[in-house]
Amino acid sequence: MEGFIKLQFLLPLVLFISMAVLSSALEDYRTYIIHMDNSMMPAPFSTHHSWYMSTLASLKDDGVSPTHLYTYTHVINGFSAILSKSHVAQLHKMPGHLATFNESFGHRHTTHTPKFLGLKKHVGLWPTSGFGDDMIIGIIDTGIWPESRSFNDHDMAPVPSRWRGACETGVDFNSTNCNNKLIGARSFSKGMKQQMNISKTDDYDSPRDFMGHGTHTSSIAAGNRVPFADYFGYAKGTASGIAPKARLAMYKVLFANGSYDAAASDTLAGMDQAIEDGVDLMSLSLGFIDTPFYENPIAVGAFAAMEKGIFVACSAGNGGPHAYTILNGAPWITAVGAGTVDREFTAEVTLGEGTVHVSGKSVYPENLLVSRVPIYFGHGNRSKEICDAYSLDPKDVEGKYIFCDFSNETSVFQQRFEMYRTGAAGAIYSSESGQFLMPQDFDMPFVTMIPKFGDLVKDYLLRTDDPTVSIKFQGTQLGTKPAPQVAYFSSRGPDIRSPWILKPDILAPGVDVLAGWAPNRGSAEIGDDYLLTEYTLLSGTSMSSPHVVGIAALLKATHRDWSSAAIRSAMMTTADIFDNSNGPIIDMTTGIAGTPLDYGAGHVNPNKAMDPGLVYDIKPEDYISYLCAMNYTRDEIMLITRRSDFSCESSTLDLNYPSFIVILNNTNTTSSTFKRVLTNTVDTSASYRAVVNTPSRGMSVVVQPSTISFSGKYSTAEFNMTVTIDISLNPESDYIGNYGYLSWNEINGKHVVRSPIVSAIAA
């Protein structure tokens, strides 16, 4: 079908060519991203675009003419085009050509989270920042549903005069869909159209959101306050974005293509336009396969944004709980992992005439009346007790609920299959894996509960001749503990390409987050039916990135002179490393304490980040020195930085980052020395003392000097820290994820500036 579409489109241009030649030409006709050295542009050309177009026109026609897609202004020096292999070979010989890369494709990766983050209407970061007023957040995603109540502009001031963006017209979308909240919306699909046609039945060829993902992420970052939001009776309350007064601009680059993918050429074009339009911050809840930074469109685009003072947050990826699965690991990007919040969705189970009451998890999206329904338990037959596959007789369970006992060998996912197969009315599962179920998994009326509660149900069933069950769905429980936990799917560090910088940077809410949705897209499934809703619950690092970009908007509105690195540092050094039960943050997969390789510096704390005391700042030139130390060639660095006037004489992997990672070698002892510079962010002089906490045996840390002083705002102080890992002290440990913390505690003051120290082996 794909080949037929291209043939149909090109037929009038190549009618005189034989079908055999045409078929051969079309086979290698594809999209490329071309980097150029603009310093070599010949004098007769007045613009880079005219030079690029002339370059394309000069390519010899081999049966199919080159087709220009985008000229990029900020993210790279270059353009994208549809070319044949012959065209590419010709380009490589032309003066000014730096590199050509094949098109690649990236994949998409949230009422209660502001409260969980400690944001309050009358005190702290929200009112201090004006709720993000005047900040413009660019969201690179699947589009937006502009009619969502989250994007109403009630009480919003006029659009900032510095805004240069636009609201494009397209399928089911026009300029009237924008307002003082949604101030811009654009769509970039030229690259994707080389893979597919875009029709209204598959997606909208416009900024309108077909899938719902972009509406969700946008409303998390900056949705206005919406009362009476809920997901089929769950999570009832007032929904609010993290920066509810900030402005939104949508750049749609993700389109339906079997799944939802983004072409590299379109992603670069969206980021390029966002920079041109004047956004202050960007959030991208998508990632491309692991490649060197100079081949990764997000890394390249984010570098240009960083140079313009634009803060960029990205999802860390959903490849957890495995190590080395981080995406978007470039050090100038704030990579965000996903954590749980202190909210659970419940069903209240009453057995018999009310003698036993237990609570479990359910997000069944219907106010179903379950009253004194018979319940079946196959006691005496272990296979039937745990609901093994094909163990139950449909005749035995017809019209009944089934109870499935806990088993280490049978998961709740396998037990669900037996409920579906037998046609049981519903189920109660005693399981430790219920926490891994998503809301959309509850497409039948069932409840999961921890084995401790499951044993109460089992005891009732064993002593009752005609057991019955009553269930009340649609419960929401707040203040649950422990929270946050590291989500099982959240990608872990270290980064394969850049292991010398700890990633992810930070953790933010990313599990069962309520936010806006496309109301014509099915959200909850019941049998063969899909239920529609304005707001839905989603999980993923896709949800955590817009939380952080919203917090960054609040911080940027409060501290207009802070760089992107300073904003990230403020969030990292004030992050929480303990949960709401005062224990270390737990990895929900293992049930034990996580490490900085799981959650970075900790869970973001917006109010503390407003006043960090000190920050680790980074200049663009520092990142270039880091790229030099990564042994990138000058041409490869030029692809990222668009610069040729740089030196690698001071190259170093020791970036002035707010975290520390020791890459272990093959010897018993590994020692690394780090040099850092801290900048004072308060108006007064201050002194700080180094405090080291190393719970991991075999890690020793020496800080020189141990006391530093600052004369006033923006004054700086340097220190060195040497970390030694001695494996021989604990030979049973592989020392992966052994960690500690360096804290700079203000003397006679309130500020504590904390950084994680962790060990790892480069993959």
Q: How far, in Å, CA of 73 to CA of 449, rounded?
A: 55
Q: If residue 309 lies in a helix (H) or strand (E), which one and from where to where?
A: none
Dihedral pair phi/psi, residue 71, rounded to 5°: -105, 130
Q: How far, in Å, CA of 573 to CA of 566, rounded?
A: 10
Q: If residue 639 lies in a helix (H) or strand (E), which one and from where to where?
A: helix 634-641
Burial 120-132 (b: 16+ CB within 10 A, else e): eeeebbbeebbbb
Asked if 345 and 127 count as a contact pair (C-beta separation under 8 A), the reply is: no
Task: Return the HEC string of 87-106.
Answer: HHHHHHCCCCEEEEEECCEE
Q: Which two structure tokens, joined as six digits, stand for 129?
A: 């920042």
Asked if 181 and 112 count as a contact pair (C-beta separation under 8 A), the reply is: no
Asked if 737 and 492 count as a contact pair (C-beta separation under 8 A), the reply is: no
Q: Which two structure tokens, joined as six digits, stand for 414?
A: 């396998």
Which listed residue (87, 104, 141, 209) is catalytic? 141
Dihedral pair phi/psi, residue 376, rounded to 5°: -105, 140
Asked if 512 and 539 count as a contact pair (C-beta separation under 8 A), the reply is: yes
- Sequence-separated (6 or more) residues with CB below 8 Å from residue 559: 566, 567, 681
Burial (0-12, 13-18, 19+ Cβ within 10 Å), 763 = exposed
Which listed residue (74, 213, 547, 559) is catalytic? 213
Q: Please give the single-letter amino acid code of residue 391.
A: S
In degrees, rounded to 5, the angle at the alpha carbon of residue 706 between the alpha carbons of residues 700 and 711 is 150
In degrees, rounded to 5, the angle at the alpha carbon of residue 569 between the alpha carbons of residues 566 and 575 is 145
Which listed residue (104, 542, 569, 755) is catalytic? 542
Q: How far, in Å, CA of 621 to CA of 680, rounded?
A: 21
Asked if 585 and 602 count as a contact pair (C-beta separation under 8 A), the reply is: yes
In order of 130, 185, 268, 753, the CA distances from 264 in angstroms are 36, 19, 6, 38
Q: Which two structure tokens, joined as six digits, stand for 520?
A: 């014509």
DSSP state of 576: B
Query: DSSP of 440-465, one letter per residue?
Result: GG--SSEEEE-HHHHHHHHHHHHT-S
User: Is 359 one of the annotated active-site residues of the chain?
Assistant: no
In degrees, rounded to 5, the angle at the alpha carbon of residue 42 between the alpha carbons of residues 41 and 48 is 40
Dihedral pair phi/psi, residue 430, rounded to 5°: -90, 110
Cα torsion 605, 607, 611, 613: sign: negative
Cα torsion 279, 280, 285, 288: sign: positive
Q: Please give the single-letter amino acid code of residue 708.
A: I
User: Is 141 one of the annotated active-site residues of the chain?
Assistant: yes
The residue whose two tokens read 């009112």 is 127
Q: Which two structure tokens, joined as six digits, stand for 228?
A: 């009476």
Query: DSSP of 65-81, one letter per residue?
Result: --EEEEEESSS-SEEEE
What 3-state DSSP class applies to 115? helix
Q: Which two structure tokens, joined as six digits, stand for 59?
A: 């390519």
Question: Long-range CB contacts (< 8 A, 24+ apart) of 726-729?
Answer: 726/668, 726/669, 726/698, 726/700, 727/664, 727/668, 727/669, 727/670, 727/698, 728/668, 728/669, 728/698, 729/697, 729/698
Asked if 587 and 491 count as a contact pair (C-beta separation under 8 A), the reply is: no
DSSP state of 159: P
What 3-state DSSP class applies to 435? helix
Strands of 377-488 (E only): list them. Answer: 401-404, 426-430, 446-449, 468-478, 485-486
Kindly list the catalytic residues.
Answer: 141, 213, 542
